[in-house]
Copies of this chain bind each other. A is one copy, B any other.
Amino acid sequence: MATEKVKVLGFWPSPFVMRARIALNMKSVEYEFQEENVMVSKSDLLLKSNPVYKKIPVLIHADRPVCESLIIVQYVDEVWASGPAILPSDPYDRATARFWATYIDDKWFPRLFAILLSEGEEAKKAAEESGEGLVLLEEAFTKCSKGQKFFGGERISYLDIALGCFLAWTRVIEKMGNVSLIDETKTPNLFKWAHHFCADDAVKDVMPDTDKLYHFSKFLVSKVKGSAAQK
Contacts and interface: CB of A to CB of B under 8 A. Distances in A.
Interface of A: 52, 61, 64, 66-68, 71-72, 74-75, 78-79, 91-92, 94-95, 98-99, 102-103, 136
Contact of A102 (B68, B91, B92, B95): B68
B64 A92 contact: yes
Contacts of A95: 66, 71-72, 74-75
A211 to B, nearest CB: 34
A130 to B, nearest CB: 15
Contacts of A136: 52
Nearest to A72: B95
A72 B91 CA distance: 10
Contacts of A79: 91
Contacts of A102: 68, 71
Copies of the protein in its oligomer: 2
A138 to B, nearest CB: 14
Q: Which of A61, A66, A92, A94 has the most CB of B within 10 A?
A: A92
A151 to B, nearest CB: 16
Contacts of A91: 75, 78-79
A95 to B, nearest CB: 4
Contacts of A75: 91-92, 94-95
10 contacts: A52-B103, A52-B136, A64-B92, A66-B99, A68-B102, A71-B95, A74-B94, A74-B98, A78-B91, A79-B91
Contacts of A103: 52
Given A66-B95, A68-B99, A68-B102, 10 more contacts: A61-B92, A66-B92, A66-B99, A68-B98, A71-B95, A71-B99, A72-B95, A74-B94, A78-B91, A78-B94
A92 B63 CA distance: 12
Q: Identify which of A79, A92, A95 gathers the most chain B CB atoms within 10 Å of its CB.
A: A95
Contacts of A71: 95, 98-99, 102
4 closest Cβ pairs, A-B complex: A78-B91, A75-B95, A71-B98, A66-B95
